[in-house]
Amino acid sequence: MVRGIRCPEDRWAWVEIDLDALRENTAAIKRLVARNVQMMCVVKADAYGHGAVQCAKAMRRAGADQFAVATVTEGVELRESGIREPIAILSEPPLETIQTIVDHDLAPAVYTQDFALSLGECAAAAGKVAPYHLAVDTGMTRIGVNWRDALELRRSIDFHRGIECAGTFTHFATADVLGDWDFEMQYRRFCEAVRSIDDSGLDTGLVHCGNTPATILHPEVHEDMVRAGIGLYGLHPAVETRRKVRLRPVMSVRGRITRVERPEVGTGVSYGLTYRVPKPNIQICTVPIGYADGLARSLSGNMDVLVNGERCRQVGRICMDQFMFAVAVNSVRAYRPTRAVERGDVVTILGYDGNEMISADDMAARRNTINYEVVCDFGLRLEKIYV
C-alpha cells in the first residue's frame, strides 16, 4: 500500500476527488474578480466528471454565487440535493421540459420567442415568474440569438409577466488565445447588444461572458459575473493561464493490481496479442479500469502508470473493463532495482504517486484531445471517493 494514498478497501478502482483543492481553486479564481462580480460555477457533465452535487456543495463554501449546468436533469439533481443558489441551464432546453424547469426554479438560456413565451405561460399558471438568461451569439455560431436581433427578441417577449431576464450572456470561441481579433470582435458585438437592450429601458439582468480563460486572461470582460468551469477543477485551458493563477488538479484515478503473472518470453498480452513479452522477468499486471471507465482505447501501448512512485509502461490493448502493464524486475543486483509488485498494490493512472505524476494534460496530448475530455471521461463509471 502506498503511503499518502487513501485506498478504499471495498473496491478495485476509483476516482479520488480532492475537495480541498477544489475549494482552493474556487477561491483562487474568485480572487481574480472584483468584489462586486459574482461567480457562476459551471458544474455541467457531473462537474466535468468530478461529481456535481459534492463539488457544488464544496464550491458554495469557497465563493460560488450561482451554478450552471447543461441539461434540465442536471439542474434537477442539484436542486434535489439541496442546492438553493440560482442554477442556470447553458442552452435552451426542449419545450417539453418547461414544467420541470418551473417546478425546480431553474433559469434556462433563452433564444427563441417560442420557448420564452411557453416558459412565461407555464410560470404564470404556477403563480411564478421564471428567470432566464438571454443567450447572444456573437460569433461562435453555437447557441443564442444573433447579436443584431437580441433587442428585437427581447421586445417580442418582454410583455409577458411570467418571465424575467436574470442575465444576458455570450460565449467566446477563442478566449484562450491572447490578442485574438475574433475574441475582441465577439466582445464588441456583445457590448453592442447589451447597450441596445439597456438603452431601450429593458433590464439586462447580470451581464456575463467570461469562461475560465477569459476570466483569467481578460479582466476587462468580467462584467457582472464570470462563468468558470475547467479552472475550478485545477486544470488550465491554455498555457498562458499558468502564469496568472496557481491551480491544483482535483481528480486522481487509481486502481489496484488484480493479478500478476511472470509469463514466458514470447507470450502475448490482451486482444490481438499486439504485445509479446520480450525478455525474462517481466511482470504483467492487470488493473480493472478500461475504456468504459474513460481510459481511452487509443492510449493502448502509449501511456504509463505509476506504482510505488515509479513509472511503468502500459502494454497491449486497453479492454472495456481492464488493462495490463509491465514491470521489468531486475533479478540481478542492479544499480537501482525495480521492486516486484504484488496483487493488491495501488496503481495511479492520473495524479501523483510520490514525486511522479501523470497529468490530464499529458494524457490529453497522447490522446490528441484536451484535458476537459480526459476528466469528463473518467466520470463515466468509476466510483468517486471524496478526500
Task: Provide the binding-site residues for ligand PLP, judged by CB under 6 A.
Answer: 42, 44, 90, 171, 211-212, 227-230, 237
Q: Min. distance of Cβ 142 from ligand PLP in angstroms?
A: 8
Q: Min. distance of Cβ 14 from ligand PLP in angstroms?
A: 24
**Number of neighbours of residue 57 by Cβ within 10 angstroms:** 17
Among 44, 187, 233, 275, the active-site one is: 44
Residue of 54, 41, 34 whose CA lies nearest to 384: 54
Closer to ligand PLP by CB, 183 or 325: give it: 183
Q: Min. distance of Cβ 178 from ligand PLP in angstroms?
A: 16
Cell 411557453 belongs to 118
Closer to ligand PLP by CB, 129 or 370: give it: 370
Closer to ligand PLP by CB, 88 or 303: give it: 88
Specify whether 44 is catalytic: yes
Q: Min. distance of Cβ 91 from ligand PLP in angstroms?
A: 8
β-pairing verdict for 346-353 and 251-256: antiparallel
Q: Min. distance of Cβ 198 from ligand PLP in angstroms?
A: 22
Q: Which three cell numbers stand for residue 326?
A: 509491465
Q: What is the CA radius of gyration of the chain?
A: 24
* Position with the least CB separation from ligand PLP: 229
What is the DSSP-derived secondary structure letter of residue 105? T
Among 111, 244, 271, 386, the active-site one is: 271
Report in angstroms the alpha-carbon separations of 34 from 224, 346, 380: 9, 43, 36
Rounded CA separation 215/219 (Å): 6
Cell 467566446 belongs to 172
For residues 110 and 160, the answer to whether their CB atoms sit within 8 Å is no
Helix (H, G, I), strand (E, B) or coil at 261: strand
Closer to ligand PLP by CB, 212 or 270: give it: 212
Helix then strand count (H, E) for the chain reads 11, 21
Residue of 324, 280, 322, 334 whose CA lies nearest to 301: 324
Specify whether 271 is catalytic: yes
**Number of neighbours of residue 312 by Cβ within 10 angstroms:** 19
Helix (H, G, I), strand (E, B) or coil at 193: helix
Q: Min. distance of Cβ 348 from ligand PLP in angstroms?
A: 25
Closer to ligand PLP by CB, 86 or 288: give it: 86
Closer to ligand PLP by CB, 207 or 327: give it: 207
Q: Which active-site residues does the annotation give?
A: 44, 271
